[in-house]
Chain A
Amino acid sequence: MTLIQEKTIAAKVRSDFPILNEQIHGKPLVYLDNAATSQKPIAVLNALQHYYKHDNANVHRGVHTLSSRATDAYEGARDKIAAFVNAAFRQEIVYTRNASEAINLVAYSWGLANLQPGDEIILTVMEHHSNLIPWQLIAQRTGAVLKFVELTETEEFDFDHFKSLLSNKTKLVAVVHISNTLGCINPVKEICAEAHRYGVRVLIDASQSVPHLPIDVQDIDCDWLVATGHKMCGPTGIGFLYGKLDLLRSMPPFLGGGEMIADVFLDHSTYADLPHKFEAGTPAIAEAIALGAAVDYLTNIGMDKIHAYEEELTAYLFQQLEQIPEVRTYGPKPKADGSGRAALAAFTAGGTHPHDLSTILDQAGVAIRAGHHCTQPLHRYLGAQSTARASLYFYNTREEIDVFIAALKEAIEFFGSLFG
């Protein structure tokens, strides 16, 4: 392993994240719960504060200077996001609270208007609840039927099974790009191409990919793509929906209220142009601007570099985990260079329950997730009641993985002696 990326990225960026200096139970924080939420660099914190200190006003309303500054910053952040995912038009980016809201927007707007009884929606067994429950609700309302792509033996997206589910009845494919539990990277470009042969729309849940990989929505050719700001160095309360322009234009409004209108009469209204048609009410202005700062921050480092460094970390993480006989990881194994999967590992450790593991690791300053990670059906499918999960980001280091592994070994020993 080269260490080149580590020297150029992690060492450089760690000082940008004040929280990484925290001590937990007297130990340096080792934050390995990035798939749940990422930490925030000082540039993002400053953007929030700067907005409230200098520019705070409502957007798209007043003609006064502050309103104009706030509007420019808010809309400027949209431009940054559009460029970040290579959208063809800035109006294709709709701000939402998070990825869940973006999916609900599509489900209630497009889904209710377009789905008929017997129409089929293809999901996968690995979906996060956020890309499952909205479709369950819409299926109940419309009579549409949910179909689920299963996993291959290596616990990845089964493309052959997917192809066998596609038919003239299929109206929508909604699939996660990177599974937050399996860490597999789904072939979304191929999925879109296959679905489009049947004229089927495709929604990509990119919550776990936009923070970690260069994303090009035009290259993927998805109809919609959703992501959330807080997993990509941005604040909570802001996410976005990308949708192809004509498609978004054809969709009825989701939430009604201020901001999303053109002309309002007592008995009817006309709606604002994209993207404001889908942005009812005063939006999360500071959060949107701060997400723009996060996008700038990630862009300055370079998403290709972040991805390359995370592959190095992935290789190291799995090398270390594989040396612990009690550990069973889920999802595909990485290639020797760390490519082929995301920089996270969901695992079980013999008879030691993930909750107990997490409590013991916390005493060593190590933050990991324990539970079902909002993928209950997947855990049921895998026959695991719950798993522990270590998920990395570009500010993590190999030294931190060493601390995690040492604590994990100690925890397994602590409980293992019981079952010996």
Chain B
Amino acid sequence: MALDNLRDLYQQVILERYKKPRHRGKTNPVHRYQRGHNPSCGDTIELTVKLNETGDRIEDVKFEGEGCAIAMASADLMSEALQGKSLEEALDMVQRFQNMMQGKGEFPFEQRKLNVMQGVSQFPVRIKCATLTWHTLKAAIEASNPQPAGFVSNE
């Protein structure tokens, strides 16, 4: 079997993050909490967000959940990329990630780690796996209080 085709999808960074995620867990304290799931496959994710004192900038993001290599690596890379970002910047990144999944554009140099997910755009059925964490983030940011707001669905 030509696994070569799969190297674009399963880049080493993705496999490493799947095996050894760096941002699993819960933030302390929890200022935003959101669960997301992918109803077609059962993948789940729980994001917690710690904000700064003025509540407009992300200090920390952590995730819990179960899913495939793409979903979990995407959540880990996203959590890392969001450290220190304003909520507005984070929402821009959600849009940029969605565009990248459509094959349109990529992240700038300082966020280039996220570009390892670009290969997913060649596997349309797997885009949902990669975007689950970003959909969940968007819902977390847009929620006005830290209470769990039910599941956000990725469909």
Query: Chain A residues in contact with chain B, CB under 8 A?
Result: 25, 353-356, 359-360, 363-364, 370-372, 376, 379, 385-386, 406-407, 410, 414-415, 418-419
Contacts and interface: CB of A to CB of B under 8 A. Distances in A.
B54 interface: no
A363 B8 CA distance: 13
A363 B68 contact: no
Contact of A359 (B15, B40, B71, B126): B126
27 contacts: A25-B5, A353-B67, A353-B69, A354-B41, A354-B68, A355-B126, A355-B129, A356-B68, A356-B70, A359-B123, A359-B126, A360-B3, A363-B2, A363-B3, A371-B41, A371-B42, A372-B42, A376-B42, A385-B42, A385-B66, A386-B41, A386-B42, A407-B1, A414-B6, A414-B10, A415-B15, A418-B18
Nearest to B128: A355
Contacts of B64: none
B69 A415 contact: yes
Given A355-B126, A418-B18, A360 B6 contact: yes
A359 B9 contact: yes
Contacts of A353: 67-69
Most-contacted residue by chain B among A363, A376, A419 (CB, 10 A): A363
Interface in B7-64: 9-10, 15, 18-19, 40-44
Given A355-B70, A356-B69, A418-B19, A363 B42 contact: no
A364 B5 CA distance: 11
B105 to A, nearest CB: 24
A356 B6 CA distance: 10
Contact of A364 (B1, B42, B66): B1
Interface in B71-90: 71
B17 to A, nearest CB: 11
A410 B41 contact: no
A359 B6 contact: yes
Given A359-B6, A406-B1, 20 more contacts: A355-B43, A355-B67, A355-B68, A355-B129, A356-B68, A356-B70, A360-B3, A370-B41, A371-B41, A371-B42, A372-B42, A379-B42, A385-B43, A385-B44, A385-B66, A386-B41, A386-B42, A386-B43, A418-B18, A418-B19
A406 B3 CA distance: 13
A353 to B, nearest CB: 4
B123 to A, nearest CB: 6
Contacts of B15: 415, 418
Interface residues of B, number: 25
Interface of B: 1-3, 5-6, 9-10, 15, 18-19, 40-44, 66-71, 123, 125-126, 129
Contacts of A385: 42-44, 66-67
A410 B6 CA distance: 12
A385 B44 CA distance: 9
Nearest to B69: A356
Contact of A410 (B1, B42, B68, B123): B1
A419 B68 contact: no
Contacts of B5: 25, 363
Contacts of B69: 353, 356, 415
Nearest to A370: B41
A290 to B, nearest CB: 28
A371 B44 CA distance: 12
A356 B66 CA distance: 13
A51 to B, nearest CB: 33
B40 to A, nearest CB: 6
Contacts of A414: 3, 6, 10
A350 to B, nearest CB: 13
Given A363-B1, A385-B66, A410-B3, A355 B19 contact: no
A57 B41 CA distance: 41
Nearest to B12: A418
Nearest to B65: A385
Nearest to A386: B42
Query: Sorted from nearest, which 10 A-B pairs have the closest CB atoms?
Result: A353-B68, A355-B68, A371-B41, A372-B42, A386-B42, A364-B1, A385-B66, A418-B19, A356-B68, A356-B69
Given A418-B15, A418-B19, A419-B19, A355 B41 contact: yes
A393 to B, nearest CB: 23
Contacts of A25: 2, 5
Contacts of A360: 1, 3, 6
A172 to B, nearest CB: 28
A364 to B, nearest CB: 5
Nearest to A372: B42
A385 B39 CA distance: 12
